Each structure stands twice: as C-alpha cells, then as structure tokens.
Structure 1
Amino acid sequence: MTKFAYIRTSTKDQNADLQLDAIAKVDGIKRTYTDEGVSGTLASRPEWDKLIDRLEEGDEVVIWKFDRIGRNTMNVLEAVQAITAKGATFRSLTENIDLNSGPMAQAMMTIIAAFAQLERDTIVQRTRAGLEAAKAKGKVGGRPSVVDPKKLATIKKLINSGDHSRADIARMVEISPATLYRVIATL
C-alpha cells in the first residue's frame, strides 16, 4: 500500500500551509500532488489527474478536507468514485472519514459533502445578494474605470473623425489599446 496526499488551492494567492501541516503529520506519505490556483468545480485538474492515473489496488489518498477534491456533492462523490474504482481507499483528515472503516464512512462522506455544497451555495447566494444591494445603492464593485467622462468624450470625437488609428487614440488619451477596445465595445 502506498499513501499519496492531494492538496489544492483555488487561487494562486491562497496559502496551502494549513493543508501541508496536516498532511505532514500523516506517516508514510510517498508523494503529495498539488494543484495551485485550480477551482474545485473543475472536473479535470492536472495534478489530480496524475494522482488518479498512478493509483493502484490498495493505495490510499489522503486529503485535508473534502472541499479540496470538489466544490459540490457530485464532484466529491465522483472524485471518491475515481479513487475506489482503482481499488484504492480514501481518507479525509478534517472530517475524520476513512473509507476503510466500512459503509457508515461512505454514508457520512456523502452527508458531509452535501453540507459542504450547501455552505458554498449559501456563500454564493449571500455574495450575489450583497452585490445587488450595493448596486441598488449606486455602488459598483471592482476596479475604478480609467476612462472618465472627459476621456470618453474625447475617444468618441477621435473615433468619429476617422483621422486616427486605434493605437494613436489609445496613446492620445493615455490608456492601453485593450482598454480602448473595451470602451469601444460599449459604445
């Protein structure tokens, strides 16, 4: 039996230290596969795919928490199915679920995965509600536009004159060509 660990962060900015610390306490881990900046909603993740391809009968996959292998119940169940189809087992450290411990572990895993999905769905719903409330109050999130009304008027005038290339217009109003093209798309 060979033990492998899997670690995933959703963004490049996230820190995997918590996961690494937990995995370091597990004896006998041969290799740790790490996907950085990869969403858990994606079915295909490069290091996850390598891990699944490498698994053999009797191997064990250790993770820190269910949401590292999938962001919804179906993702988690499919991930565990991919492991067990190879004849390997699965263990989640945070939820203390070890599929070697029998059918109750499988049932608990399904319930915990469903709650993880509920938590994610609730966060998404609250975020959308907050954005809508802010929008209703006239607040817009995100980075402030570099194109103020004065620059926009200048851009319109220069485009309508037909005397300047897009690159020239971008230089004249001191914005990047990409920004100019985004502005033009909204005109």
Structure 2
Amino acid sequence: MSRYAYIRTSTKDQNADLQRDAIAKIDGIKRVYADEGVSGTLASRPDWDRLIDRLEEGDEVIVWKFDRIGRNTMNVLEAVKTITDKGAAFRSLTEQIDTSGPMGQAMLTIMAAFAQLERDTIAERTRAGLLAAKAKGKIGGRPSVVDAKKLATIKKLVASGDHSRADIARMVGVSPATLYRVIATL
C-alpha cells in the first residue's frame, strides 16, 4: 500500500502552499503529484494522469479538498470512481472523507452534491446580476472599438462595393476580424 497526494491550482497565480502544508502533516506520503495552473474541468491533467496510472490495489490518494480533483459533482464522482476502480481509496483532509468504507463514499456523494449546488447558485446569481445590469443599460465586457462614426464609415464603404474587406479594415483602423463581426450585425 502506498499513499499519494494530489495538489491542483486552477491558475498559475494561485498559491498551492495551503495544500502543501496540509499534505506535509500526513505521514507516509510516497509522492506528491501537482498540477498547478490547470483547470479542474479538464479531463486530462498531466500529474493527475500519472497518479492514476501508478495506482494499485490498496493505495490511497489524499487531497486537501475534494474539489481539487474535479470542478463539479460529476467530475468529482468520476475521479473517485476511477480511483476506487483501481482498488485504491480516496481521502479528503478538509471534508474528512475517506472512501475506504461505505459511509465515506456516501458522504462524498452528499458533499459533492452540495458543492455543485453552491456553484450552480453562484452562477445563477451572476446571470441574474448581469441581466439586471443589462436592463439598466450597463453592458459588461470590453468596450467596442467601433463607435458610431466608424460604424457609419463601414456601412458606406461596404455599400459602395469599391473596397475589399481588408482595405476597409485598414481604412477604418480595426482588425479584419472586428470588421467581419460588425458586418455580420448589419
């Protein structure tokens, strides 16, 4: 039986020290696998894949928090199933979940469901906030480089048919991609 730890951060800017400190307190860790700056939504993560390939019957995978192995309920449950299908156990330090027994597996399913509910609620609130802002005339995102004057010029040049799209983009001072997006809305 070998114990392995897995650490993941979603962006290069995030710091994995909290995870590393928690893992360092566990005795008998044979190796720590770390995917830093890798989204949990990705099916393939280099060190995760190496860890899964190495697992054998009786091994244990330890994480600081179970959302480190997946981004949503389905991802987490699939990751744990992958681990348990190899005959290994999964343990999350923060949630104190250990899948070596049936109670741990049941608790993992419940905790993952609540985590998914939380993410869905946050997403719903974000959408509602964006809709409320839009209703007030506020539109998020990057400001358009095409103002009313440039739009009028684009319309005239396109209607004349005397210039190529590349020429029009240069004349107006926008990228060809921007020009094509503007033309598509005309």
- Tell me the TM-score range normalised by the shorter chain: 0.7 to 0.9
| Residue aligned with 2:78, SS | helix
**Alpha-carbon distance, 1:169 to partner:** 1.4
8 Å CA contact retained: 2:38, 2:45: no
CA RMSD of aligned residues (A): 2.0
- Residue 8 of structure 1 aligns to a residue in which SS? strand
Residue number in structure 1 paired with 2:103: 104
Please say if residues 23 and 64 of structure 2, whose CA atoms lie closer than 8 Å, have aligned partners that are also in contact: yes
8 Å CA contact 1:71–1:120 kept in 2: the answer is: no
One-letter amino acid matched to 1:158: L
Looking at structure 2, the residues matched to 157 and 139 of structure 1 have their Cα atoms a distance apart, in angstroms, of 29
* 2:118 alignment counterpart: 119
* 2:132 match: 133
Report the CA distance between 1:124 and its aligned residue. 0.6
Distance in 2 (alpha carbons) for counterparts of 1:147 and 1:17: 45
Question: How many Å apart are 1:26 and its aligned residue?
Answer: 3.4
> Residue in 1 aligned with 2:9?
9
8 A Cα contact 2:70 2:76, kept in partner: yes
- Matching residue of 1:152: 151
Of the structure 1 ranges 81-90 and 155-164, higher mean CA displacement relative to structure 2 is found in: 155-164
> Which amino acid in 2 is paired with 1:121?
D
Residue 11 of structure 1, CA deviation: 4.2
Q: C-alpha displacement at 1:52, in angstroms?
A: 1.8
Aligned pairs (5 A) from 1:12-161: 12-27=12-27, 28-34=29-35, 36-40=37-41, 42=42, 44-47=43-46, 48-100=48-100, 102-161=101-160
3-state secondary structure, aligned to 1:87 = coil
In structure 1, what residue type is equivalent to 2:87?
A: G
TM-score, normalisation: structure 2: 0.87
Aligned to 1:167: 166
Moved more, 10-19 or 156-165: 10-19
Q: How much does 1:4 deviate?
A: 2.5
> How far apart are 1:105 and its partner, in Å?
1.4
Q: Secondary structure at the match of 2:91?
A: strand
The alignment of Structure 1 onto Structure 2 pairs a total of residues equal to 184
Offset at 1:39? Answer: 4.1
Once the two structures are superposed, residues 59-82 of structure 1 have per-residue CA deviations (whole angstroms, 9 ceiling, x without a partner) of: 221222122222332222211111
Q: What percentage of aligned pairs have identical amino acids?
A: 76
Gaps of 5+ in 2: none
Structure 1 residues 62 and 173: alpha-carbon distance in aligned structure 2, compared to 1, 3 A threshold: same
The 3 A distance-change label for structure 1 pair 160 and 37 is farther
- SS state at 2:7 partner: strand
Unaligned runs of 5+ in 1: none
- On the 8 A contact 2:61/2:89 being kept in 1, the answer is yes
Change (3 A) 1:184 1:18: farther
Q: Distance in 2 between matches of 1:183 and 1:13?
A: 35
Shift of 1:163: 1.8
TM-score w.r.t. structure 1 length?
0.87
**Paired amino acid for 2:105:** Q
